[in-house]
Amino acid sequence: MNFDDTRLEIGAGIREWRTRLHLTQKELAKAAKVHVNAVGRVERGEANPTLKLLWKIANKLKISVVQLLLGPARE
């Protein structure tokens, strides 16, 4: 697995966690205090999220950063 694959997996995991909670990208972005485009880019694997952004997203999703990184399939 390479870095790009990892980014795609993390983004797909974030999307799955978000949709499980019936949140829109806009709602998640507002809670994380980032632009909605940033959430979309992370979910598509186009951006490298900072640890702070991952923490904010995980916090809103009510999971740990570790759970966020492992993805919902491994819960």
Instruction: Please tell me the distance from the alpha carbon of residue 65 to that of residue 75, in angstroms, as a whole number.
Output: 12
Tokens 């990892």 appear where?
6
Domains of the chain, with CATH numbers?
Answer: 3-68 (1.10.260.40)
Amino acid 72: pLDDT: 84
Q: Dump pLDDT digits (tens) for 43-73.
A: 999 999 999 999 999 999 999 999 999 888 7
pTM: 0.89
Residue 64 has which token pair?
């740990």
Average pLDDT over all residues of the chain: 93
* Nearest alpha carbon to residue 53 among 68, 24, 32, 35: 32
Amino acid 18: pLDDT: 95
Instruction: Please tell me the distance from the alpha carbon of residue 28 to that of residue 47, in angstroms, as a whole number.
Output: 16
